[in-house]
Amino acid sequence: MRWKFAFLMAVLAVAVGTAAAQASQCVTCHTDAEQLKAIIKTLPPPAISAETAGKG
């Protein structure tokens, strides 16, 4: 499968050069700790049942 790998990586290199994954809003937000902290303050805390007891 080596050739397939090499081929895909080549395609990828071109794709990266043009589309620039790094410019998306996903990247901007998910690499910014302060922005993430601010958003999390507005979200409800994750819910787990308080009734779970003992070990399994």
Partner 1 sequence: MAPLEPHEKVLVDKDFLDTDHGEIDCADCHGGNPEAGEMKAAHKGMTADPTFPDADKACGDCHEEEAALAKTSLHYTLATYRPTVHRRASEDRKKMALLDKGMDNHCFSCHASCGQCHVSRPDSAMGGFIDGHRFNAKPDQANQCTACHGSRVGNEFTGATGQGDVHYTRHDMDCMECHPASELHGDGKTDHKNRYDVEGSPRCDDCHQPDPKVEQHAVHGDRISCYVCHSQPYANCYACHVGLDSNGLAYYKNPVEEEHLMIGLNPDQGPDRPEKWILVRRVPVDPTSFEFYGKDLLTNFDQANNWKYASPHNIQKNTSQNRECNNCHGNKDLFLTEDKVKPEMQKANAPVIVPEDQIPGKQENQGEDEEKAPRKRSYF
Q: Which residues bind partner 1 (CB under 8 A)?
A: 1, 4-5, 8-9, 12, 16, 19, 21-22, 24-27, 29-31, 33, 36-37, 39-40, 46-56
Based on CB atoms, which residue is closest to ligand HEC, 23 or 53? Answer: 23
Does 20 help bind ligand HEC (rule: CB under 6 A)?
no
Distance from the Cα of residue 28 to its chain's centroid: 11
Does 12 help bind ligand HEC (rule: CB under 6 A)?
yes
Residues 6+ apart with CB under 8 A from 27: 21
Cα separation, 36 vs 39, in Å, equals 5
